[in-house]
Structures are given as C-alpha cells and as structure tokens.
C-alpha cells in the first residue's frame, strides 16, 4: 500500500493511442484479499473518447484500501484511524510507537496508510489502547527508545490513568446523586450554581461563599422557583439538618454533592480553621462559569432575585431565616423537606 495525493488529469488509452480525458464510474467487483473474496464498489476510469477502461493508480490504490478495510472489519483487525487515535492518546510518533511495540520502524506507517496488519500485530495494537497494557509493553521495551522519551511517555500514561480514575469516580458520584435526587437535572444544577456566584460577585463583590451560605442559597432559589415558576430549577431534594436545609448527599460524612462538583471542575473549595468559631470553615469558589448558559431567562431571573436579596447576609442570618421557614419547621431532623 502506498500514498498517492490525487488522480492524474489525463491517462494513456491504448485503444486511442494517446493521452485522453476520462470519467469515473462505480462497479461492484470482488477483490481477492488473503484468499478471501471481498466485494467492493470499485471506482473505475473510463476513456471519454472510446469508453475503454483505463488504469489510474490513484483510484486502484483507493479501491484496494476499501477492500482491505472491509476485510479488516470482517476479521476484527485494527483500523488505520484506530491506530492513529491510540498514538495520539500517548502522544507518540509512528516510529516511536513501532519501537515501543517491538515492531519494524515502518510498520505502523504502512498500517496507517491502509496495509493489512497481521492478526498478532493487530491484537497487540488493540491491547495497548489500554494504558495499563501500554505501560507494561513500554517497560519491557524501554531499551528500544531514548530515556528522555521513555520518561515523557511514562508521564503521559500516569496522566491518562489519573484522568480515567477521576472519570470512574465522577460516574460513581453521579449514580449516587441520582439515587439521592431521582429527578435532578445536572445541567440545570450546574447552571444554578454558576448563577449563584455570578450574581454574588455582581451584587455583593463575593468571589467565595461559605458552605452554609451556599447551601441556603440553593434552598432559597429552589423554593422561589417552585413558587414563581411552578417548578424547581434543578429538582434538588433537601433534608432537615442542624444549620437549616441542605441538599441530600451534602452531609459532612457523605460529601457526595461537593465531591461531584469539585471533580467535574465546577467549583473549588478551601478549608481554613476559624479562630472565632474554633472549627474548620469551608469556602467555595466557582471554577467554570459556562454552565450559566443552561438556565432559561426566567430561571436566571429567580437566581438573580434571591442572590440580590439574600446573598449579602451572613451565614448565621441565613440559618436563622431557614429555621423560621414553615417547610423546615414542619420536618424533623434528617427528614426530607417537601418544598
């Protein structure tokens, strides 16, 4: 298999005995690939003057690629774009990838151009799409590559594994969130939170919110939305807790909600020790404001109204306000509060 950039404008026609212009047609034909008949729709060059079939290397090469690809798919062999994707993930060149796998330097280049890999090589390439497997092969063949490249690739693998681990953690946290809040709208929740910080900065010049303030504003927004719009924005559920309503999964011993928001890079949290209250204090800041786009204008209006009215109050004032709330009073500690 070789690389041709484009077809020729004219071809030699033996029937006409000269260079001629041509057109292309499609014909269904069988190619014999490794003693296996593969039917493909072949592109054929036809002389415009006499109608004879002409040989155009570019189209013949492309036809062969189609046949090889179909054979590869039928026999579960790795495809050219899959090899490129694997290389891209680890940020390695064709030559470096081949050396790491213990293959000839030009092998990967040929495969990516459409040549058929052997079953053994195909299985090897597929296997190293998993970072742990690539790490094993890299270690066993480290003498094949320069030390500086070995260390660089090792760093890439560690980063990929960390990202994969984080992705699994986020998926598990999200499952728990859906158990705690069966009707939750994740995008709306993120938009609501982005709105809290946007309007807190706009009206009260606050870059951070105490955790208690953060939870109470979530509660007030969802109550106001239910009252004015006939529905909650994010469908968060709240429970009766020491300092007023908090979202389900937000207890200190659970931490599901905040962990999820941190691991999805929506918020960051700083923990300090308060000499005044002789305990840890949690300050929450926004990392990503883009989810604000998920809120409709009427929903943004609710968030703005609540933050403008209550966002400047201290945590103790908001706790006092929450304790006087009728819905809060009608519930017991640990119970879900019906909004």
Contact 237, 248 (CB under 8 A): yes
Residue 174 lies inside a defined structural domain of this protein: no
Residue 2 lies inside a defined structural domain of this protein: no
Same domain? For 146 and 187 the reply is no
Average pLDDT over all residues of the chain: 93
Q: For 152-197, give the secondary structure using H, E and C.
A: HHHHHHHHHHHHHHHHHHHHHHHHHHHHHCCCCCHHHHHHHHHHHH
Domain limit, last residue, from 168, 193, 220:
168
Contact 60, 42 (CB under 8 A): no
Same domain? For 85 and 158 the reply is yes
Domain limit, last residue, from 147, 168, 189:
168
Q: What are phi and psi of 192, to 5 degrees?
A: -60, -45
Nearest to 68 by CA among 103, 22, 36: 36
Q: Which two tokens stand for residue 275?
A: 């000499």
Beta strands in the chain (DSSP E): 11-13, 18-20, 22-33, 36-47, 53-54, 208-210, 238-241, 244-247, 267-274, 279-286, 336-337
Question: Is the pLDDT reported for residue 241 higher than 60?
Answer: yes
Residue 201 lies inside a defined structural domain of this protein: yes
Same domain? For 156 and 69 the reply is no
- Over the Cα atoms of the chain, what is R_g? 32
pLDDT tens per residue across span 201-217: 999 999 999 999 999 99
pLDDT tens per residue across span 126-142: 999 999 999 999 999 99
pLDDT tens per residue across span 82-108: 999 999 999 999 999 999 999 988 999
Domain CATH code at residue 19: 3.10.20
CA angle (42 as vertex; 39, 47 as ends), nearest 5: 150
Domain count for the chain, please give it.
3
Same domain? For 91 and 162 the reply is yes
Range of the domain at 233: 181-337
């Amino acid at each position: 298999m070789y690389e041709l950039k484009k077809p020729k404008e004219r071809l030699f026609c033996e029937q006409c005995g000269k260079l001629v212009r041509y057109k292309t047609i499609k014909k269904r034909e069988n190619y014999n690939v490794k003693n296996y008949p593969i039917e493909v729709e072949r592109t054929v060059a036809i002389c415009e003057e006499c109608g004879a079939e002409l040989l155009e290397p570019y189209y013949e090469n492309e036809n062969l690629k189609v046949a090889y690809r179909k054979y590869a798919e039928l026999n579960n062999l790795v495809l050219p774009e899959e090899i490129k994707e694997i290389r891209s993930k680890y940020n390695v060149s064709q030559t470096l990838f081949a050396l790491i796998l213990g293959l000839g330097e030009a092998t990967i280049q040929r495969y990516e151009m459409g040549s058929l890999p052997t079953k053994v090589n195909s299985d090897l390439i597929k296997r190293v799409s998993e970072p742990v497997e690539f790490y094993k092969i890299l270690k066993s063949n480290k003498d094949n590559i320069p030390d500086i490249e070995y260390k660089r690739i090792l760093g890439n693998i560690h980063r990929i594994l960390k990202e994969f681990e984080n992705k699994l953690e986020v998926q598990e946290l999200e499952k728990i969130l859906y158990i705690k809040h069966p009707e939750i709208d994740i995008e709306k929740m993120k938009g609501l939170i982005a709105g809290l910080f946007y309007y807190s900065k706009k009206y009260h010049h606050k870059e951070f919110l105490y955790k208690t303030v953060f939870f109470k504003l979530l509660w007030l927004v969802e109550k106001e939305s239910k009252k004015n719009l006939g529905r909650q924005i994010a469908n968060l559920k709240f429970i009766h807790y020491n300092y007023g309503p908090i979202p389900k999964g937000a207890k200190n011993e659970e931490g599901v909600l905040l962990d999820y928001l941190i691991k999805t890079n929506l918020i960051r949290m700083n923990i300090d020790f308060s000499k005044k209250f002789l305990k840890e204090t949690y300050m929450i800041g926004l990392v990503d404001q883009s989810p604000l786009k998920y809120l409709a204008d009427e929903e943004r209006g609710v968030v703005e109204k609540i933050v403008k009215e209550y966002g400047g109050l201290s945590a103790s004032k908001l706790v006092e306000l929450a304790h006087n709330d009728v819905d809060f009073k009608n519930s017991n500690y640990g119970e879900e509060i019906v909004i």
